[in-house]
Amino acid sequence: MLRYIIKRLLSLIPVIIIISMLLFALLKLMPGDPVRLMLGPGLRAEEYRAAEIVMRAKLGLDRSYPEQYFLWIRNTAQGELGWSTLYNRPVIEAIREPMKNTIMLNVVVIILQLSITLPIGIMSAVKRGSRFDSFWQVFSLITYSMPSFFVALSLIYIVAFRFRLLPPGGMPLSTIGTGAAYYVSLMRYMALPAITLIIISLAGTIRYVRNAMIDALSQDYIRTARSKGLREKVVIYSHAFRNALIPISTIVVFSIFSLFSGSAITETVFSWNGIGRVLVRALNNRDFMLVSAMNLFFATLGITAQLVADITYGLVDPRIKLE
Amino acid sequence: MKPLKSFFRLIKGLFVPDRSPVSALQEEALQTPAKTIVKNFLRQKLGILGVLGFIAMLMFSFVGSNLKPIDLSYVETTLRNIRPGRNYLKYPAALERDGVSNISSGVSFSIGLSEKGDVYVWGREPAYVLEGVSTSVLRVPESVRAADIVMVVAGDRHALALDSTGRLHGWGFNNFQQAEAPVQLAAKLSAKPVKQLIADEAYSAVLFEDGELYVWGSVMNNRLDSIPAAIQGRIVKVAPSAHNMALLLDDGTVAVIGIRGNPFSQVPGQLQDGSTRVVDLIASYRAVLALDDRGQLYMWGDVQYDVLAIPDFSGKIVAMDSGKNNMMLLLDTGRVIYWGGNHFNQLALPAAMSNSNVVEIYTEMFQSYAVTDTGKMFAWGNKGFVFGTDEFGRDVLTRLIHGGRISLTVGAIAVVISVFIALFIGMTSGFFGGWVDMVLMRFTDIVTSIPFLPIAITLSAVLGGRVSQTQRIYLIMVIIGVLSWTGLARLIRAQILLEREKDFVLAARALGVKQKNIIVRHILPNVFNLVIVSITLSYAGSLLTEAGLSFLGFGVSTPTPSWGNMLQGAQTSAVMQYYWWRWLIPGLFVVITALCANLIGDALREAMDPKANEK
């Protein structure tokens, strides 16, 4: 197993190199002169010229692109991500809170999503063609065709404005403290964005689980298990589901990844102070250091997802290790 | 005759099934795989529904955009945020029956006074900035119903009515108190008779028989309320506009008050020095038309919407009235002359009207009414908006049609780009194997780990600022296409590897079929089925992606409409809460189109699945 993981890790190296080059190129493509941004207004022409040379050397901008690339890699590795003009503090500090919020929201969504989709997917496959199955088939077909902002706007309209059950968006007030009241308030604010993300990610996973289960249930070993006289529960959960887990585990890892990178829209609609919303705000305010830090986070997440998917694949499918 | 006959037989064969008996073997031979797929597909009701729905969307967008042209630069902010409805011209039958005393129109409603003194309001509620400060303009207050009304007038969003006791009633948009009579005015109203009631967007005014004009409401920027002493008390008629008023004085000269220096205030010299006697005066938003006692017309102001181009006509003018961008004349022959802007079909006069003798005309904003000598009413102009209007007063339906054209095209081309890349990478990888396969699959891994939405919006923001609007649309297609091919490429590769191992390939090889023919005739058809299904499904996906990008403001940029960017303005709670048609309707169009594409994709997959035939 360890050998397999090491092999996977090694094969990620070219991926990391190319993605980092892409991120660096994006950073260089961004409009605006970082030196001018750092120096700010209020300098006279000759003062500015002198300060510019110093700053340019300090930021390493006077060197060649390959040198700048390695400098950037070194700084990034040390956690020096630059200065955010939007929040007026170091990027690393500016993204701490949003990152916490995004992870919190997505963890809740993933837990709920899996605990809903797995039973439904399994049931649909077992009772294939039943009313239960067709209901979820139709449901997933419709939600699959819905853009997330449409789900979000509809929920806000119905739940927040028509029935006034939950706030239409935002974050708990900072004055509320950190006690139980804070968590209640947090849950109220989190409910709608979480429901939105669950609804839009439900369809894909239910369909995938159902198909994987149907495939597993049509295998010969299921017939064998049944003819041995095993209880249906054992057949489904112990024989079929374990084998269905192999394809499911991969899709789950990737759905988590796409959930993170896709939550920008939902976060923006609900003013949930997460990294997706910060990215959109940073782009609109031309805070490009912040933008590249965000993209770095998402890219790291993408590569990690790839690795995790490979490893879980190896864990759940013993055949992989043997190859 | 023979070719003709066989041609008819061919046509007949398309609709009437051939009933001549076919043996089982023949039938087997007749049924090509493509035919089987079509046959299977036609058996699926949902798939057919998807195809029909999708065709309807295509017709709506591509045929519709030719039928209903769009003027991207045209905005009419007075019409903003009006809810769906096409009843602006549906005047009550009772008004026609009782006889019209006066009709006056606001942005999306009209108010009518019958000869019996009844007040009617019809049309749609305009949008008020502050709910609570204003009352509904469509609901005539009880006090008005009870009173004996002698005069009515509609402003852009408010209405005024004067009763026989000299009390002024106002309702509707009231942000500047323009819908309530000031105390000072109330005293004057009870003392002397009123000649003319005036209401515009933000102000109201009363002209008394003795020539005094009183203005109130929002007059901070145009100072219309401070009437020079030289003309106060000599005013005979008022022609109002948003920033100016053209006044007809008792000596037949014309004066303009309000903002100085604009074309509206450039009164021709001969109308000021007393050499010409003006008898009537009307004003559109930016132009004034005056009539002198010899029947001569004078016109000045802004040339916008050709409002200054008076058409040729012969006859004596008996009445004149003006819309926002239009002028209307009534001749003694009963003919109506109408010209100016035509964005809401204001110039489309009812055909039946040309045969009748019109005796009264009323036009304001974009609605026009005429009454004939037999008491019959005609109405034309802005009927309303099926799907309402947006924050700039643009018709949501027109923008949906043109936005659909953009969204559907962007989605299609993005899919074409992504399928091309996927086919190239997947097929090369699958057929060549070895190190080519390894390199290409690593490359695919890399693109897969690119976080789609963050990189797409970053690219769009970074590159989008340097290109023109049209190029930006191409940029969006390329971004979506280039970042979304990986899944399909993997699928194609896997399918090729799978098919290569199948028995029929082995059989073909054993029969000595050339490698090239095995690929083209035996493997590729099985791969293409997969590609076709994938195209329809990923079409739905890229439609949603475009909508999402445009929604965030990183896709197609305004004023070019797309279904996504029509929703961009819907991110404020006011829009979500009160102007639901602005997000619900474009949103539903996206959902329905994506649903249709998904239905087609599902049905195709079922139809192509050989196992489906066994049922």
pLDDT of residue A204: 85
* pLDDT higher at B28 or B45: B45
CB contact under 8 A, B458 and A168: no
Query: Which pTM does this prediction carry?
Result: 0.87
Where along chain B do its domains lie?
55-74+396-613
Q: What is the pLDDT of residues A13-31, one digit of tens each?
A: 888 888 889 888 888 888 7
Residue B615 scores a pLDDT above 50 = no
- Decide which of 1.20.1090.10, 3.90.226.10, 1.10.3720.10, 3.90.190.20 is the CATH code for A96-316: 1.10.3720.10
Side chain identity at A232, as an amino acid letter?
Answer: E
Instruction: Give the pLDDT confidence of B474-509 residue by residue, as tens digits.
Output: 999 999 999 999 989 998 998 888 888 888 888 888
Q: Do B453 and A262 touch (CB under 8 A)?
A: yes
- Distance of CA A11 to CAs A3, A5, A321, B436, Å? 12, 10, 16, 16
3-state secondary structure of B456: helix
Q: Do A153 and B599 touch (CB under 8 A)?
A: no
Provide the chain B residues 328-367 that lie in CB contact (below 8 A) with chain A: none
CB of B457 less than 8 A from some CB of A: yes
* Distance between A47 CA and the closest CA of chain B, angstroms: 31
- Set of chain A residues whose Cβ sits within 8 Å of the Cβ of B459: 26
pLDDT tens sequence across B576-604 = 888 889 999 999 999 999 999 999 998 88
Following DSSP, what letter does each residue of A17-56 receive, concatenated?
A: HHHHHHHHHHHHHSSS-HHHHHH-S---HHHHHHHHHHHH
Within 13 Å and on the Cβ side, how many CA atoms surround B393? 16
Instruction: Judge: B591–A145 Cβ closer than 8 Å, yes or no.
Output: yes
B163 bridge partner residues: B149
B459 in A contact zone (CB under 8 Å): yes
Quick one: pLDDT band at residue B608, thresholds 50, 70, 90?
A: confident
B614: pLDDT strictly greater than 50:
no
Q: Is the minimum CB–CB distance between B589 and chain A shorter than 8 Å? A: no
Q: What is the mean pLDDT of residues A70-74?
A: 86
* Residues of chain B positioned with their CB less than 8 A from the CB of A313: none
Token digits of residue B166: 């000299």
Q: What pLDDT band is residue B64 in, cutting at 50, 70 and 90? A: very high
Q: How far apart are CA B457 and CA B549, in angstroms?
A: 7
Greatest Cα-to-Cα distance within chain B, rounded to the nearest angstrom:
113
Best of B131, B458, B475 to disrupt the A interface (most A CBs within 10 Å) is: B458
The nearest alpha carbon in chain A to B439 belongs to A14
Is pLDDT of A120 > 90? yes
The type of residue at B98 is: D
CB neighbour class for A23 (10 Å; exposed up to 12, middle 13-18, buried from 19): buried
Task: Report the alpha-carbon distance of residue B256 to residue B245 in Å, rounded.
Answer: 6
- The residue among A149, A265, A291 with the most chain B CBs within 10 A of its CB, best to mutate, is A149
Distance (Å, rounded) from C-alpha A75 to C-alpha A63? 15
Nearest residue, CB atoms, B567 vs list A144, A149, A161:
A149
CA distance B593 to chain A (A): 8
Which of chain B's residues have a Cβ under 8 Å away from the Cβ of A265? 453, 548, 551-552
| Residue B568 CB contacts under 8 Å (≥ 6 apart), including other chains | B550, B551, B552, B553, B558
* Separation CA A316–CA A90 (nearest Å): 42
Q: How many helices (DSSP H) and strands (DSSP E) are in chain B?
A: 19, 21
The type of residue at B82 is I
- Classify strands B149-154 and B100-105 as parallel, antiparallel or unpaired: unpaired
CB pairs under 8 A between A and B: 136
Residue A286's alpha-carbon distances to A33, A70, B149, in angstroms, are 11, 24, 60
- B74-78, B282-286, B536-540: least confident range: B74-78
The CATH number assigned to the domain with range B55-74+396-613 reads 1.10.3720.10
Interchain pair A26, B455: CB under 8 A: yes
ipTM confidence? 0.88
Give the C-alpha separation, B187 to B178, whole Å: 17
pLDDT of A140 strictly over 50: yes
| B514: its two tokens | 């050339």
Q: How far apart are CA A42 and CA A84, in angstroms?
A: 20
In the three-class reduction of DSSP (H, G, I as helix; E, B as strand; rest coil), residue B197 is classed as strand
Q: Is the pLDDT of residue B527 over 60?
A: yes
Residue whose tokens read 């049209």? B470
Which of A199-208, A248-257, B433-442, B534-543 has the lowest average pLDDT? A248-257
Q: Where are the extended beta strands (E) located within A39-107?
A: 83-84, 89-90
Contact: B551, A149; criterion CB under 8 Å: yes
Contacts of B514 (CB under 8 A, 6+ apart): none
Interface list for B 525-584 with A (CB within 8 A): 540, 544, 547-548, 551-554, 564, 567, 570-571, 573, 576-577, 580, 583-584
Q: Which whole number is the average pLDDT over A2-11? A: 83
- Report, as an integer, the average pLDDT of B140-161: 90
List the single residue in B449, B594, B598 with the smallest CB-CB distance to A306: B449
Is there a contact between B552 and A150 if contact means CB atoms under 8 Å apart?
A: no
Residue B343 has pLDDT above 50, yes or no: yes
Out of A260, A265, A305, closest to residue B552 by CB = A265
Residue B446 sits at the chain A interface (C-beta within 8 Å): yes
Q: What average pLDDT does range B548-561 have in this prediction?
A: 89
For the segment B177-196, the average pLDDT, to the nearest whole number, is 87
Contact state of B544 with A145 under an 8 Å Cβ cutoff: yes
Distance CA A36, CA B488 (A): 45
- A295·B451 Cβ contact <8 A: yes
B32 CA to chain A: closest CA distance, Å? 28
Answer yes or no: do A14 and B446 touch at CB < 8 A: yes
Q: Do A149 and B587 touch (CB under 8 A)?
A: yes
Among B131, B153, B215, smallest CA distance to B178 is for: B215
CB B442 to CB A264 under 8 A?
no
| Least CB–CB distance from A153: residue in B540, B544, B576 | B576
Are B451 and A11 an interchain contact pair (Cβ–Cβ within 8 Å)? no
Within 10 Å of residue B11's Cβ, how many Cβ atoms? 10
Q: Do B552 and A299 touch (CB under 8 A)?
A: no
